[in-house]
Structure 1
Amino acid sequence: IIKMLQTLAYRDSLTGLSNRHGLLKSILDIRKRKPIVPHTIFILDIDEFSKINNMLGSLAADQLLQRVAIELKNLFPEATNIARISADEFSLLLYQQENEDPVHTVEKIRQKLHEIEQTWQQSIPVTGSIGIAHKVEKPNYDVLRHAELAVKEAKARGRNSYCIFEDKIADSFEREVAIETALKYADIDKEFHVVFQPQVEIHSGNIIGAELLLRWHHPRFGLISPIEFIPLAEKNDEIFRLGEFVFQKAMQAQEKISAQTGKNLLLSINISPRQWLNKNLLAEFLEMLHKNNLSPKHFEFEITETFLMKDPEVISKTIEQYKDQGMRFALDDFGSGYAGLQYLRDFPVDTIKIDRSFVAGITKKYNIGRILKLLQIYASEFGIRIVAEGAEQEEEIKLLKDIGIQYVQGFYYYPPLDFNTLLQKLSA
């Protein structure tokens, strides 16, 4: 009975492979040998497995895992250990000299996954992200941690990618953990501030709006890019704290602009996908506006093209619901994804913001100018304004003006400004 329990402790019940404990035991056994035999560990993470589970059900998902397990055993009969170490992750422990190219093993795994996809008779791709690490002899099971960091990096690169561990990956992960911790304990009012990048009417050169951009200056790390901290904030509830901070700054700015210049600027606020999950978000914002005697028509929520396409029917209905109450919405980064003019009919947005990649290409590719002209005609017909983002060169401005696009946002006119500088520009 004791022997049976010991066996069960190291075995995955679904696939019959080793489990995480079994893998760690194999690594420990290798380290006990003298001399230590060089091994490489591969971790295979089935891409978008949760989507497979949600679309086909747990039974089909389990069958896929069992099929992958069988194929791995058949493909690598010489493996020291093959394990299922989490819901959708497998590990492969192979005797392999450090100077051997692990990409050959990666290609064998990819090919087998492709064969599974072809014979599975489901309309869902079967691919995997693969992390690789050498040096099993390192203490504290570092090789497993390194492989896990490598597969995380592979997933960040996109489906069907692989990554071989390097020390800089660990350094990057340690910084990520440190910043995530710093974010959790950050004094929002002291460490964060907003800047305003003006939106300009090309014909007059007048500032007609501004996008609020969040900045973080940490006492230890210094200035941290939003590209780095926003994804970390979205992993937990910190994005809601930051969002509320931006809302408050937007309202304070609108009140001061109106009082000191007599103008009402259109202020744009970015809304992340995680914020959108808060069903009370827009209602709470409207309530804050009401308390401050501000009109929703002077504020605009920006949502990205990629997010808009995730659940178009639900998002479209939500937008329509709040537009009826006076709120405005902008489609950000248009041209960076796959939305087309026909697709835009379903979304009652007030503004389309053209991605910088399109604006930069207008001076190099004739077709981009034609596409933007069609977009401008479409937008005019439906009363949608267009803002070209990232305009930096005089030639870009001229071509945009010739096409008929009226508004731009970019360094050609203004970089992001602090609030006092914005007030000075508006008062000039």
Structure 2
Amino acid sequence: MSAHFTAAPTARLFGPDGPQPLGAVTAPASEPELLAAALDATPRATFRLDPPALHLGPKQPAPAFETLTGGTTGSPRHIRRTQDSWIASFEVNRAAWSLGAQTRAATLGSLAHSLTLYGALEALHVGGEAHLLHGLRPDRQQQAIASRAITLLWATPSQVRMLSGPPARGVTRLLIGGGALDAATEAHARKLFPSAQIHSFYGAAETSFITLDGAPYPGVEIEIRNPAADGNGEVWLRSPYLFDAYGYGPDPHRDARGFTTVGERGRLADGTLHLVGRADRAVRIAEQTVQLEEVEAALLALPGVTEAAVLPRPDPARGTRLAAAYAGTVQLDTSALTALPPLARPRSLTRIATEAWPRRPSGKTDLAALAALLAPDLTDQHSEEAAP
């Protein structure tokens, strides 16, 4: 018999406007009741529920639900999965991190993002408090984290970079996912949460956890297929946490052994997965392959840069040239990127006001909106300021 999401007797759900619970949630609350309270807290949430029991139709008797991908490189896709697939990792984390009634977990993004929804439901499942801080300014989020004595925080790298304010010393565990954790962001996190054990995890809406601190998450098997000369190849995995299907469009590519891939490339070395980026973000420039994520990482490593994104542009001579955008407290030109190989250096660099940086509901950069913001015929100027 399949498991259903339920809240332990001590579970409580809090919204962004203060410490008053949004109708204390107690067992044996059903999943629709839990999420009805969550939806009241964040009415902009767009994940889909089919009351009364989250079944998605008579052909899928197991309790299931649907959420969205991050949608960084395109429109978000609907993800259908069983409740069991998340409950399995709730129990892994409960045992590993001693989660329970004393846990006060906070999330920063919209419930449309699977990371936020996961963090909130896990807290309710283990009987802790779930604090939904979406809708507050980043400095107010930091204040709430401190004043509410949050112990566990779920965030993306972008969300961490935007936080500001006095340290929140009550946070003992910080889970950062949804993007690579660069050194500058980690250093910023350690200042904000000096008592926290910081975990970087890799996963996707389709797969849930894949790695935790670089190593395969418990229960995950990883294979590297079709490796290139540098050892990097397609990352395939199998686990109890995989999704079932897309709500619309083609179903996931899954082989006869139950392995699937979301298009990432990387290599395994000494039990650690090293990612280089998505296959669809590798471009050819004068016969050289450039991974756009590596160029973005070089930008983020520069002092004062808080966001960075790189877009490929057609070039008659080299096939592709790179246009980069960034947000931060400094004015840069392309000479700041001498650490990159010449062909990987952007030919243009545009500064965008932090408040105007285009984001998906997940908090990730909206590359389609960024492409529209940057002129398609951007010339090889060194730098320009984009209007808010």
Structure ID, larger Rg: 1
Task: Using structure 1 for the length normalisation, give the TM-score.
Answer: 0.23
More helix by share: 1
Task: Using structure 2 for the length normalisation, give the TM-score.
Answer: 0.24
More strand by share: 2
